[in-house]
Structure 1
Amino acid sequence: MPENTLRAHDERFWETFVDRYDVDAGGPLNLENGYFGRMSRTVVEEYQRNIEFVNRGNSLYVRQHFDREHGEAIRLQVAKLIHVPPSTVALATSAVDALQTLIRNYNGLKPGDQVLISDVEYESVKSAMRWLARQRGAEVVELVHPHPASFDSLVGTYRETFIRYPRLKLMPLTYVNHLTGLVMPVQAIAAAAREFDVDIILDGAHALGQIEFDLKKLGIQFAGFNLQKWIGGPLALGFLYIAPQRLADIDPDMDEATYPATDIRSRTPHSTPNIPALLTLPLVFEEHRALGGASAKGARLCYLRDMWVSAVRNVPGIEVMTPDDRRLYCGITSMRFTAQNDQQAMADRLLDDYGIFTVVRKTSVGPCIRITPGLITLGRDIERLTRALTDLSRI
């Protein structure tokens, strides 16, 4: 059995790991870790020190040291995280910020072209694509994926759409669907898109930190990520990626001139960033690597996910929305109570009656309850969840 799989099952290790984090004593069990991840205690302490350090040094430090040295060193580490040259990444405040920057500055559309959005994309990404289409005189094509999804159905639906709409030029693609946790077969979809000359902007918000990937192997030219979900960084940190041969296809942001047009940093607005948060990233990355990186985190999260899904998959009154094909899921999975119309009321019952916090998401086939274990979730927490779901299924 691989080392990461062995560790994923090792409750004694993870009980020790939990001690690295501060949580509200007596608070509800948080199974909504998809919003943002906790920082470890050492990261919080480092962040606080950096706040005090920057406050003391003020503009002298920022102008003479951070701008010239430290900021670039951190960008190099961000690039190393996804195994790309630093010249291909630019810092942003979030994945949404990065994705919207890529979308609004994409210059490959002309009147009459088409852009594609699907039901699994993040709402801010869909609205940005609609805005881009209006600005460029393009048509918006909207795709709804069949449910339940399979690897072949997902790839086949895109291929059929590319054939049906030959003027398609651009589409976003969410690596891990924020609604149900469905992991899209990115490499296969990107290969089909290349056949029809359709560019992809990848939303990697939920993938980074829990899925090992190689952007070049995936065939991805443009992507946006954040560092606050599974990497363990402070809030309001993200970055974008542009393949070096495609930099000219994304315009400088609103004619941003702080950096030359040959520098990817001109593709984002120039402003004063959250420097204390950025200075905390070296420690964040060190802890991420020390744990085993995305492969170790992903193995643990999938183990926890499998625990509760296997326990309730065949329970009458419960539908698990995410398939069990290992290629198509990660730590996030959604379910619904089939005898109940109001899933929010059931999520409220989980919180009020069982002390378990989850979140409701609306999909094309109706609302569902998204359940997302975290790195400090333990096996006994999942057992508590399965008992609660089984009880509520009988209502």
Structure 2
Amino acid sequence: MSRNEEQARDEHFWQGVAARYDVEPGPINLENGYFGRMTRSVVAAYQGHIEFINRSNSVHVRQRFDSLESLEIRAQLADLLGTYPESVALTRCASDSLHALIRNYNALRPGDQLLVSDQEYPSVLGAMRWLARNRGVELIEISHPFPVSFDSLVTTYQEAFERYPRLKLMALTYVTHRSGLVMPVQAIASAAREHGIDVILDGAHALGQIDFNLEALGILFAGFNLQKWMGAPLSLGFLYIDPKRLADIDPDMGEERYPLDDIRARAPYGTPNIPAWMTLPLVIEEHRALGGSAAKGARLNYLRDLWVSEARRMPGIEVLTPDDPRLYCGITSLRFRHEPDQQRMVDRLLADYNLFTVTRDGTAHGNCIRVTPGLANSAQDLKVLVRALGELSG
């Protein structure tokens, strides 16, 4: 057992971590996948930055943030990815980043094909469909047969690459928002590269809970946010472009504030949430002090395993996310086998057991209930879920 895995089981340690968050009285929140909480110290810093920027207005922004602080933040984000500052541009969220990469990808030619799967986020699906319509290319949409395995996921893509030889660009979600399925990105990206297919990676749920290296993954284009597992204020994201491929992404909407060889020209224009960005160095400092994505991911996986190991033995419960450690993270989905309306069971979990969860649909496995513990949750919270599932499925 690794040090992170041992620490993940130390409830005393994680009680101390949970104590850093202010939590509103009410249901046990097992829907932490929407966005994460800020620690109390991050909230205080954010509020202080709001007040300061409100007082100083454009004086500080023009003199310091635009010319110095934003560059320091870019460097810190690049360091998180193990890459160069010149490969990172600030955005408002992962969706903004991915939309900019998709709409400005300029390497398509008549007759080319695009690829998406049923695991993509809805806004990414919509953007790829828009791209196909507006560039006059064909969109191929595939589904992953359920249940999935590491090999079946890779094989589904390999078969698509063979079947559609005109594929040029594909979207790939690292961690799917519906079930928490972790895609075998490195294997899929490698196979795509052999067929001359570019990959745009949706890393929204990966950053902060999965320890990864973009270069090792073979990813050249990606979008991330900082408000889920990093614990930053809402409205922060960034995009990544390998510098060798910058020319394949046009400046966004003809952006001319920056030179053509500057990645910042690829980001959507707008005044950013400057106080939020000024808070990010503290967010990154706390993230690293806790042990980074490896430590956070180990804890979230442990909480996930607490309830999944019990639910697997319940005849009335179907756990949809596989147990292969390469394919799951803290997010996992389930379904009540004999209940056609999973929303009704979400309502029961809330009304009868004070547990807040959410439904998700749109994939081959159908409607499901997503369970997403966070760093403020305890092992006891997941025991409540186990009892609820056992009683409701019996």
* 1:192 aligned partner: 191
Task: Return the alpha-carbon distance in structure 2 between the equivalents of residues 276 and 323 of structure 1.
Answer: 40
1:328 is paired with a residue whose SS is coil
Mapping of 1:89-238 within 5 angstroms? 89-238=88-237
* 2:374 aligned partner: 374
The answer for unaligned runs of 5 or more in structure 2 is none
Give the TM-score of the pair, scaled to structure 2. Answer: 0.99
1:327 is paired with a residue whose SS is coil
- Tell me, yes or no, if structure 1 residue 51 matches structure 2 residue 47: no
Mapping of 1:328-347 within 5 angstroms? 328-347=327-346
Aligned residue type for 1:18: A
Task: Return the alpha-carbon distance in structure 2 between the equivalents of residues 269 and 35 of structure 1.
Answer: 23
Spell out, residue by residue over 1:249-307, the C-alpha distance to the aligned partner (whole angstroms, 9 max, x if none).
Answer: 00000110000010000001232100000000000000000000000000000000001
Task: Return the alpha-carbon distance in structure 1 between the equivalents of residues 389 and 314 of structure 2.
Answer: 9
Task: Return the alpha-carbon distance in structure 2 between the equivalents of residues 189 and 312 of structure 1.
Answer: 30
**Sequence identity percentage:** 65
* 1:383 aligned partner: 383
* 1:64 aligned partner: 63
The Cα shift of 1:134 comes to 1.1
* 1:15 aligned partner: 15
2:57 is paired with a residue whose SS is helix
The Cα shift of 1:81 comes to 1.2
2:260 is paired with a residue whose SS is coil
* 1:358 aligned partner: 357
Mapping of 1:268-287 within 5 angstroms? 268-287=267-286
Task: Return the alpha-carbon distance in structure 2 between the equivalents of residues 205 and 246 of structure 1.
Answer: 21
* 1:246 aligned partner: 245
Task: Return the alpha-carbon distance in structure 2 between the equivalents of residues 270 and 334 of structure 1.
Answer: 37
Aligned residue type for 2:372: T
Task: Return the alpha-carbon distance in structure 2 between the equivalents of residues 70 and 218 of structure 1.
Answer: 30
* 1:260 aligned partner: 259
Runs of 4+ in 1 over 3 A off after TM superposition: none
1:208–1:231 CA contact under 8 A, matched in 2: yes
Query: For this pair of structures, how many residues does the alignment match?
Result: 393
* 1:319 aligned partner: 318
Spell out, residue by residue over 1:140-190, the C-alpha distance to the aligned partner (whole angstroms, 9 max, x if none).
Answer: 101000100000000001000000000000010000010110000000000
The Cα shift of 1:364 comes to 2.2
2:145–2:364 CA contact under 8 A, matched in 1: no
Question: Which range is displaced more, 266-275 or 235-244?
Answer: 266-275
Question: Which range is displaced more, 60-69 or 294-303?
Answer: 60-69
Aligned residue type for 1:348: D
Aligned residue type for 2:240: Y
Task: Return the alpha-carbon distance in structure 2 between the equivalents of residues 17 and 208 of structure 1.
Answer: 19
Task: Return the alpha-carbon distance in structure 1 between the equivalents of residues 351 and 195 of structure 2.
Answer: 51
* 2:302 aligned partner: 303
2:96–2:268 CA contact under 8 A, matched in 1: no
Task: Return the alpha-carbon distance in structure 2 between the equivalents of residues 233 and 204 of structure 1.
Answer: 16
